[in-house]
Structure 1
Amino acid sequence: MSRKLGVNIFNEKLRKEFSFIKKAKTESDVLCEVCNTGFSIMHSGRRDIEPHIKSKNHQNALHAATSSHTLNRYLKSSTLTGTDAHIAACEGVWAFHVISSNHSFRSADCASKIIRSCFAMSKFSCARTKCEAIATGVLAPFVLQELQKDLNDCHFFTILTDASNHGSTKMFPILVRFFSEKDGVKVKVIDLVDAYGESSEIIVNLLNSAMNKLNINKKLVAFCGDNAACNFGNVNRTGTNNVFYKLKQLYPGLIGVGCAAHIVHNTLKKACDKMPFDVEMIAVKIYSHFYLFTVRVAKLKKVCESVDVEYKKQIGYSKTRFLGLLSSVDSILRIFDGLKEYFFGRSQHPKFFATIF
């Protein structure tokens, strides 16, 4: 044991023997890293360390250290290999499935347990919290990164938006349409924001903010929206208090593209007014006749069997006609012969149906 002027010091030999002891302020003062206690070995050297090791405070700290684990044990490594990499990939696929199938994250709670049980994947764990974290922290950044690459490669793009009310919340999905040499014309969502109103100034600010995030302002060539006065002004697209005019001040030469669906809908609406019968009323009347009437539906099914027609459920009519009327008319035409046999010549049905068929 080394001495310095008759004083015991903490030397290399003691350091190797007691690895949990380290030198403190002076060469005779030491600190025990197990119980975080400092003491002096000035008088007896080793014999000062041995009583400390046997002390109750040190023994309790030693027991606590051996029975607990460091936080790193519960954290995943940034580099995964083998089984861990496979499990992580499976959890990512499951999170993507939940999103693409429009399921609630809550459904992942029980589904995660079923997958773990059925496929013997003891480490698989992807309930609602983890599923949401993967969606927002992994999938979303990756999608935006890929979108950024596509937009960097394209030369021009069109920006599109429209307001959608969800209760008291007004949502603005912002989309871009562009041409890709690899995939052709693509339409992608770049942002989905809620706003406190839908004035032209608010919409312009939202569009500019979305483009600034992706740094694509210089490639904008067209704005697409529905034909409302807020977007394009009047029929002749005059006026200054609309989105198209304000965007043109920022992007000269901007092309305005109205909603093609509204244009086609209005055209067909005018054409249908010239027909000798009202298609809209027919669709509503037929759907209403069978809606919630199980006896009538059962009778129609039997009639369809007799005329060798496969029964199809009648589809309701939407307030937004260009979204619902085609499907409703198509459901009528699919079983037209069955409906004709069901309605024609039956006195218990309204005369309106007999006249139609």
Structure 2
Amino acid sequence: MITSTQSLGLFIKERYSPISLKISAAEGTFAFHTVKHHHSFRTMDCTSNLLSVCFSDSDIAKNFHSARTKTEAIITGVLAPMSIEEVLSELQTGIAFSLSTDASNHAELKTFPIIIRYFNSSGVQNKLLDFVHLQDEKSKHVAEMLLDVITKYGLNPENMIAFCADNAPVNFGGINRAEGDNVFAKLKQIKSKLIPVGCPSHLVHKSAQIAGERALSVDIESIVAKISSFFSGEKSRVLQRHQRFIEFCDFLELHYLKFPNHGKTRWLTLFPLIERILKLWEALKSYFLSNEICPRMLETFFESNLSQCYFLFMHSSIKLFNTTSLILQRNNLSLPEMIRELRKLQQSLLDRYNGGFQELLLKWNLLKLTTLFKYTNSSPNV
């Protein structure tokens, strides 16, 4: 028997009440925060419960329910489509754009992020347009994939002014940008006036590497890589080497510094490693020349009277390349700015060459060696 009645409205939640909109906004904000800072979706399992505990006096926090599944749904079903829609609405106005892509391995698949770059009233924009999986990275399939993306999003090929990728032959056909079986050549079939943009940082590094190999009788990068690898690898062995090297640093009153790995993107680590080696030069030289298991390459190198001069010369020269490379890695760099920086690097190198420039420390070391050889009637041990 029903003894009392209540309004039906008490059992029905208002769908778009002010509080529900604030809760949805909070869940959307946390979803965006998760993507923005590259957090795992799993972190939201904890965050969702943590908010209600920490802010129990807040109606928004108490009703915040967005664990990994809901967070993923918000990102893929709301935020991603909205961001793509905003980009496409801008591009419909006829803005010129460039497409960029690069292959990464994911299990047996090749993954290709498609980045679109354009300029609006806020400056240079870099947007992730799509993420495509392919079985391989043959030029035919990559070109077809890019054309499919252009068609899928209704982009006008006539507004595409540049194709950006790394300098692999599959993308551009080698250093001469040759016509033929490469992605750039296939894209030019739909847009004849297309600008090829490779990785400028890699080109800058390669220029420094080749110049160093031709100017010096020693491959400095190989020495750097050998020193870096000597202090990395098997944990127990490396720990012993570090401990012994620390003893040399303490004896010479030098502050011990770890050596970062010399990675595949070598332009990111070459200059910092050269700089660190010079800071610890005396300790390294003493360590390797007194080490029974010293690699033959390093032993021969540190026995040379000119070894430090080689490093000082490379440090002085490669500093210019490194400064340029850091500028070229800026996210908002435009093509005219890139060309300007490369020309500045070229002019700086020419000015140094024509003026016979040498850094003071290098001059001082060469002067000491010249004096030593003069009074001892000896020749440099190269």
Q: Under a length normalisation based on structure 1, what TM-score does the superposition of the two structures give?
A: 0.68
Amino acid paired to 1:348: N
Q: Gaps spanning 5+ residues in structure 1: where?
A: 1-58
Provide the rounded CA distance (Å) in 1 between the counterparts of 2:255 and 2:20.
Answer: 51
Please report how far the alpha carbon of residue 232 of structure 1 lies from its aligned counterpart in structure 2 after TM superposition. Answer: 3.0
Please report how far the alpha carbon of residue 334 of structure 1 lies from its aligned counterpart in structure 2 after TM superposition. Answer: 3.8
Aligned residue among 261, 266, 274 for 1:316: 261
1:112-123 to structure 2, matched below 5 A, reads: 112-120=48-56, 121-123=61-63
Q: Which residue of 2 aligns with 1:282?
A: 223
Distance 1:260 1:332, change over 3 A: closer
Q: Which residue of 2 aligns with 1:177?
A: 117
Distance 1:194 1:331, change over 3 A: same
1:56-95 to structure 2, matched below 5 A, reads: 73=12, 77=15, 79-81=16-18, 83-95=19-31
Partner-residue secondary structure (3-state), 1:173: strand
Please report how far the alpha carbon of residue 109 of structure 1 lies from its aligned counterpart in structure 2 after TM superposition. Answer: 1.3
Q: Assess if the C-alpha contact under 8 Å between 1:312 and 1:335 holds in 2.
A: no
1:1-357 to structure 2, matched below 5 A, reads: 73=12, 77=15, 79-81=16-18, 83-120=19-56, 121-153=61-93, 155-183=95-123, 185-217=124-156, 218-233=158-173, 235-274=175-214, 275-291=216-232, 292=235, 293-301=238-246, 311-318=256-263, 320=264, 323-334=265-276, 336-344=278-286, 347-348=290-291, 350=294, 351-352=299-300, 354-355=302-303, 356=307
Please report how far the alpha carbon of residue 212 of structure 1 lies from its aligned counterpart in structure 2 after TM superposition. Answer: 2.3
Partner-residue secondary structure (3-state), 1:105: coil
Provide the rounded CA distance (Å) in 2 between the counterparts of 1:180 and 1:111.
Answer: 36
Provide the rounded CA distance (Å) in 2 between the counterparts of 1:242 and 1:348.
Answer: 50
* Structure whose alpha-carbon radius of gyration is higher: 1
Q: Which residue of 1 aligns with 2:325?
A: none
Q: Deviations over 1:290-334 (max 9, x none)?
A: 22322443455566577776544311122x3xx235425404524
Distance 1:167 1:279, change over 3 A: farther
Q: Which residue of 1 aligns with 2:377?
A: none
Q: How many residues align?
A: 286
If asked which structure has higher relative contact order (CA below 8 Å, sep 6+), I would say: 2
Considering only aligned residues, what root-mean-square deviation do their CA atoms show, in Å?
Answer: 3.3
Q: Which residue of 2 aligns with 1:45?
A: none
Provide the rounded CA distance (Å) in 1 between the counterparts of 2:250 and 2:17.
Answer: 60
Provide the rounded CA distance (Å) in 2 between the counterparts of 1:112 and 1:213.
Answer: 36
Q: Under a length normalisation based on structure 2, what TM-score does the superposition of the two structures give?
A: 0.64
Distance 1:85 1:301, change over 3 A: farther
Provide the rounded CA distance (Å) in 2 between the counterparts of 1:150 and 1:237.
Answer: 31
Q: Assess if the C-alpha contact under 8 Å between 1:316 and 1:328 holds in 2.
A: no
Overall identity of the aligned pairs, in %: 35
Q: Assess if the C-alpha contact under 8 Å between 1:316 and 1:324 holds in 2.
A: no
Q: Assess if the C-alpha contact under 8 Å between 2:42 and 2:67 holds in 1.
A: yes
Q: Deviations over 1:264-312 (max 9, x none)?
A: 2332221121223322222222223322322443455566577776544
Q: Assess if the C-alpha contact under 8 Å between 1:343 and 1:354 holds in 2.
A: yes
Q: Deviations over 1:166-210 (max 9, x none)?
A: 220111121222222322x22222111001233333222211222
Provide the rounded CA distance (Å) in 1 between the counterparts of 2:229 and 2:183.
Answer: 41
> If each structure's strand is expressed as a fraction of its own residues, which one has the higher value?
1
Q: Assess if the C-alpha contact under 8 Å between 2:109 and 2:136 holds in 1.
A: no
Q: Assess if the C-alpha contact under 8 Å between 2:102 and 2:113 holds in 1.
A: yes
Q: Gaps spanning 5+ residues in structure 2: where?
A: 309-382
Q: Deviations over 1:144-176 (max 9, x none)?
A: 122223323463111222222222011112122
Distance 1:114 1:227, change over 3 A: same
